[in-house]
Amino acid sequence: MSKTIKIDCPVCVSRNVFVIGAVEKLSCDDCGFLFTENSQLLTGKCLICGSGSFYYFSPFGLSFLGRDSVCYVCEAHYRNVQIDNPEPSFSEASFARAEQSVEARRFKERADHWH
């Protein structure tokens, strides 16, 4: 099973799906926004924004359908990727903390200054 990242572009809101390690740079197919220079997995950190805050997400809440680890900051969905200690489900309190993080500020600045 391939390891993938699914993310909506913060600039043009188009859906992007990448196979991890297939190419070096990950950029938006539509507007060219550069998500990351290096598509190799970083242990415990999001490849896109660098955050270490994740939660599990399963379609319809049914884990037998598979579950993604989702980054609280950039909402990147990691499929078939081992992420250490994601929260069992989305938490408003954790989301609020993640939105105030340095990683969130940097990710927002990158998107705001694109082009």
Q: Model pTM?
A: 0.90
pLDDT in tens, 56-79: 998 877 777 778 999 999 999 999
Nearest to 69 by CA among 82, 56, 80, 84: 56
Q: What is the pLDDT of residue 79?
A: 92
Q: How many domains does the chain have?
A: 1
pLDDT in tens, 12-71: 999 999 998 777 889 999 999 999 988 876 667 999 999 999 999 988 777 777 789 999
Alpha helices by DSSP H, the chain:
92-99, 102-112
Domain that holds residue 9: 4-112
Contact 55, 90 (CB under 8 A): yes
Q: What is the pLDDT of residue 110?
A: 94
